[in-house]
Amino acid sequence: PAGSAARPRWSYDHKGTVLTSGIRPPRQFATPLPVPPRARPARTTGGVDVYDITQREGSVEIVPGLRTTVWGYDGIFPGPTFTARSGRGMEVRVRNQLSVPTSLHLHGGVTPPHSDGYPTDVLVPARCGAAFEAARTAHGSRGGTHAPAVDWTVSPGHRTYTYPLDQRAATLWYHDHRMDFSAPQVWRGLAGMFLVHDREEDALPLPGGERDIPLMICDRSFEEDGSFRYPGHSPACTGTPGVQDAYMDGVLGDVQLVNGAPWPQAEVSATRHRLRLLNASNARRYHLVLEKEHGGRLPFTQIGGDGGLLAAPQRLAGIPISPAERFDVVVDFTGCPVGSAVTLVNTLANGRMRQVMRFRIARRAKDPSHVPARLSRFTALRAASAVATRHFDFRRSGAVWTINGRPFSTSEFLARPRLGTVERWRFTSDLHHPVHLHMAHFQVLSRAGRAPEPTDAGWKDTVDVRPHEAVDVLVRFRGYRGRYMLHCHNLEHEDMAMMANYLVV
């Protein structure tokens, strides 16, 4: 990766553990790239769009010729893509018809605490009701081994999440966040994209319509019969944590999916395309490049990150993307011969997993789009504006992952920042940990004592903290008071206690 020569200590690589499938891997580039359908509001009342979503099983063909049972929002994987407007409120009424409790988190959303999808704020399906209540009152805890007692908030059958969306245009996503079981439940399909638009973005001549493509990138493994393979106890109504110790570094699949299809191919015109890259993998990191069929690479023009548009576009030869990060990029296929291919490649992987997907240039077309030199009004935070400095250390301790030496506890708060202020937070770690904050967005101030790298630009909600490297960020607490969390977004680390609360006061 770029910059590795100057940063020798980064060569210590934390990779996770590959879970080998029982199927023959599907043929690469044989499946057309699917684009998830848009979620449509069931109705609008008083300027608020109301959506109905059902979490249920669905049977889909991921591996050609086999059926996979997914746990999906509306029974599909990825879930439907929400398209929202900044400042226009949304209510999502969720019914849970799965066999497990869930918690829905809007990742990157500036969301009030009651709708944040806290891990113990669960939506319990009817069929779990009695069993879940019995276990909860018997143990007062999850009955697991990794964390002290927890408090629960239980909604039976259905509930409503409220998203005021008082935030700028950005590529967000939503996914399950159930205590101890986020990794297996997201793996089984509980994830989707969520796009926020605003006037500032509308006014830009960026590629739009079918040339604005969300790409949810994740890896999975499969059983012989086509079902998802995941190590450890299958999620149930109650029970012990789902991750096996042998996989506590993180589970890596051996089949690469984009928008739920294995190594897909997208037919594109020889024009500019906007790609919203999301790494929705449990634990896999990528360093993405675009390889042209006849040699050479195509650059990315980054226009945005986790928290929306950058001030100005920047050219990137490659993109390091850790779990939960987003890169909003424009790729220009104009110079590519019709009939040729451009492959999205992950240079961190070998063999078949080195390829992610392929673009096939199908035809020439008119292209009214361009990427203007100025994209958005962007206020860079100043270090001098920070009213407090805090340090969070991410590290393994025996059989759990900890923050400042503590496994997750729902009743402890590691910080009490004030609403409306900016703080300087320092993250340090033993390995790669993609650190994510709920509700509050931040800007990277420094990495390993040096200036941030180009790929750290813009507003972010997730940042990869690399081995033995301190990352300083300036966090702006804008939004709501209440309980939020910071955690590692390697989902196996998260399920093995690498989470902590902060309280906005």
Hey, how many other C-beta atoms are within 10 angstroms of the C-beta on 170?
29
Q: Does 438 bind ligand C2O (CB under 6 A)?
A: yes
CA dihedral 481, 486, 491, 497 (to 10 degrees): -110
Closest approach of ligand C2O to the CB of residue 103, in Å: 10
Candidate segments 128-136, 215-223, 364-372, 491-499, binder of Cu ion by CB under 5 A: 491-499
Q: Does 107 bind ligand C2O (CB under 6 A)?
A: yes
CA 235 – CA 222 distance, rounded (Å): 17
CA 478 – CA 419 distance, rounded (Å): 6
Do the Cβ atoms of 405 and 494 come closer than 8 Å? no
Closest approach of Cu ion to the CB of residue 415, in Å: 19
Helix (H) or strand (E) holding 318: none
Closest approach of ligand C2O to the CB of residue 324, in Å: 5
Residue 439: closest CA among 384, 359, 501: 501
Pick from Cu ion, ligand C2O, none: which does 309 bind, CB < 5 to 8 A by kind? none
Q: Does 493 bind Cu ion (CB under 5 A)?
A: yes
Give the CA distances from residue 404 to residues 170, 390, 394, 496, in Å, rounded to whole numbers and listed in that order: 31, 11, 7, 15
Which residue number, 100 or 324, has a Cβ lying nearer to ligand C2O? 324
Pick from ligand C2O, Cu ion, none: which does 105 bind, CB < 5 to 8 A by kind? ligand C2O
Which residue number, 176 or 254, has a Cβ lying nearer to ligand C2O? 176
Which amino acid, 42?
A
Closest approach of ligand C2O to the CB of residue 10, in Å: 24
Which residue number, 466 or 493, has a Cβ lying nearer to Cu ion? 493
Total residues binding ligand C2O (CB under 6 A): 9
Do the Cβ atoms of 82 and 174 come closer than 8 Å? yes
Closest approach of Cu ion to the CB of residue 312, in Å: 32
CA 376 – CA 454 distance, rounded (Å): 17
Q: Does 105 bind ligand C2O (CB under 6 A)?
A: yes
Closest approach of ligand C2O to the CB of residue 21, in Å: 25
Q: Does 273 bind ligand C2O (CB under 6 A)?
A: no
Site for Cu ion in 432-471 (CB under 5 A): 433
CA 155 – CA 58 distance, rounded (Å): 23
CA 371 – CA 312 distance, rounded (Å): 9
CA 53 – CA 487 distance, rounded (Å): 27
User: Which string of x and - marks every residue 305-324 that binds ligand C2O (by CB under 6 A)?
Assistant: -------------------x
* The binder of Cu ion chosen from 222, 490, 491, 501 (CB under 5 A): 490
Pick from ligand C2O, Cu ion, none: which does 436 bind, CB < 5 to 8 A by kind? ligand C2O
Beta bridge partners of 435: 463, 488
* Beta strands per DSSP E along 65-120: 68-73, 79-85, 90-96, 104-107
Q: Indicate the residue whose CB is closest to ligand C2O.
A: 107
Q: Which residues bind ligand C2O (CB under 6 A)?
A: 105, 107, 175, 177, 324, 436, 438, 487, 489
